[in-house]
Amino acid sequence: MFSPYKFEIESLNAWFGSKHVLKNINMKIKEKAVTAVIGPSGCGKTTFIRCLNRMHEIVPGAKVSGRVLFNGMDIYNEDVDPVQIRRKMGMVFQKPNPFPMMSIYDNAAAGLKLNGIRDKEKLDSVVERSLKLAILWDEVKDDLNKSGASLSGGQQQRLCIARALAVEPEVMLMDEPCSALDPIATAKIETLIRMLAEDYTVVIVTHNMQQAARVSDFTAFLYLGELIEFGSTKEIFENPRSELTEKYITGEFG
Amino acid sequence: MASYKMRKIKDRFMRILVWLALLMALIPLFSILGEVVLKGASSINLNFLTQPTPTVGEAGGGVANAMQGTLLAVGLASLIGVPIGLMSGIFLSEYSETKLSPAVRFFNDVLNGFPSIVIGIFGYTIIVLSIGFSVIAAAFALAIIMIPIVTRTTEEALKLVPATVREAAIALGVPRWKTIVSVVFSGAKKGIATGILLSLARIAGESAPVLVTMGYWRWWFAGLDKPVANLALNIYIFAISPFENWQALAWGSALVLVTLILGTSVIVRIFTREKY
């Protein structure tokens, strides 16, 4: 069954306790492209991205309904092991969160090591490959045994991207990956995102509209838990269909 | 300007107060330590460390059997108490979404506040009445004293590990148990080790629950179902005795006990030292 879509989201709803945070979302996310999710604070964009790799449900009281087809298979089917799903998707968080007790090397190798791979040669090559992919290798190759926490914020975030890439995911989910970074570090990550889109499906949550315009191919606008508009980034920014989208993009509220 | 001057004066005053408080806390610690070392050191010699308890009127003798007894009782109690405490701590910190957790936490705190003699009498009714005064009975009572301390400190140490670190591991497709064991635990090992040490120090110094579960015994270890001597009890019995050489033994026992506890904590600190 061939489909150009990596994710097909059908009537997705999500709750925290009794709070209904995502309302009937329908959306198709294209393979090997960057899809940005924008919207004001509290609109549900983080919850949305966390529903894609079943991270939403680890919070006590969180609930999901609807279907999320990943490669045509519903990840919320009863027989699906969420651990297996998460291994196919890398996730990068708002605040860089390298494992504080681990070296740079161990951070990059964490996904493999924690899942039982001990082969030193394999680990070495994966660490080098993923640090290179994350454009961090040249900066850290002589300090691989130093603590991951000793790096600067931007380097830490690229280390987290390397850590996520090391398990060879098909998808990269990025939850406001630049919100804690300065403009130079942000520019580096944005370049990286464009490069990643050649081989990976990237979904990025951002509150920065310029960033969405710069890096994404498709943009989804969420407001109060509803998907207001979804389309190519060019369309959304140049010719939005919804008045609400236009107001948000032009900075009238947000 | 005046208010700035005033603030500086207040600052200096409070600083002095804080230093004084620190001094007040350190004085008893060092005076106890100093006295134990001064009075205990003279009775420490090879005989003291290798001979069992002397009988009344006998010269010499030592605390070897009591060291053996304390190590055995504390060791056995840790074998029971540490795993239970650790597991309960993990449950409270990592699986706190269950309705059971607040109740467990509450009763754990209650247990922590129990007088140790009550726990000793519990051990007496449960074990001594069926198999008699024994190492097992003492270890059982001491383990119950340990559990709430280890549980509480483990829970607190695990909670200090940021949620973002847990999420990072889970998002990598690491199962929850593995996340706890490999990632969360390594971030909390120092705090957990401190908790275990605290509980060890506490039970190594307990005398009341030992008295009602193992009784006073002057001979060597003869089996886990039999009693054996104990350092803390030695201090108690010898110190209130009228014989001078026994009183010297009490000081010696105190020094040995303090050294054992300090030694263990230094060793554990070295092993749990953080790499970064």
Cα distances (angstroms) measured from residue B26 to each of A34, B38, B199, B257: 62, 18, 21, 20
Q: Which residues contact A68 (CB under 8 A, 6 or more apart)?
A: A7, A8, A9, A10, A12, A51, A52, A74, A75, A76
- A/B interface, count of CB pairs below 8 Å: 80
**Mean pLDDT score of chain A:** 92
> What pLDDT score was predicted for residue B84?
97
Q: In this structure, what are the phi and psi dihedrals at residue B222, rounded to the nearest 5 degrees?
A: -130, 10
- Does the pLDDT at position A108 exceed 90? yes
> What pLDDT score was predicted for residue A60?
85
Could you give the 3-state DSSP secondary structure of residue A37?
A: strand
Could you give the 3-state DSSP secondary structure of residue A12?
A: strand
Q: Do A86 and B178 touch (CB under 8 A)?
A: no
Output the furthest CA–CA distance in chain B (Å, rounded): 78
CB A184 within 8 A of CB A2: no
Regions in chain B scoring below 50 on pLDDT: none
* Mutation choice for B interface testing from A85, A114, A150, A203 by most B CBs within 10 A: A114
Complex ipTM, two decimals?
Answer: 0.89
Report d(CA B160, CA B188) in Å as an integer: 7
Q: Which residues of B touch A175 (CB under 8 A)?
A: none
**To 10 degrees, what angle do helices A183-196 and A153-165 make?**
20
Q: Which residues of A touch B179 (CB under 8 A)?
A: 114
> What pLDDT score was predicted for residue B43?
82
For chain A, the domains span 99-168
Report d(CA A186, CA A138) in Å as an integer: 18
Closest by alpha carbon to A3, among A86, A73, A53, A51?
Answer: A73
The predicted-structure confidence for A141-198, as pLDDT tens digits, reads as follows 999 999 998 999 999 999 999 999 999 999 999 999 998 888 998 998 999 999 999 9
Could you give the 3-state DSSP secondary structure of residue A173?
A: strand
The predicted-structure confidence for A196-234, as pLDDT tens digits, reads as follows 999 999 999 998 889 999 999 999 999 999 999 999 999
Q: Is B59 on the interface with A (CB under 8 A)?
A: no
Report d(CA A104, CA B111) in Å as an integer: 43
Q: Which of A97, A111, A146 sits opposite B173 (nearest CB)?
A: A111
The residues with which A218 forms a beta bridge, in sequence order, are A35, A232
* Mutation choice for B interface testing from A52, A59, A88, A101 by most B CBs within 10 A: A101
> What pLDDT score was predicted for residue A225?
93
CB A164 within 8 A of CB A193: no
- Does the pLDDT at position A254 exceed 80? no
Q: Is B60 on the interface with A (CB under 8 A)?
A: no
Report d(CA A100, CA B240) in Å as an integer: 53
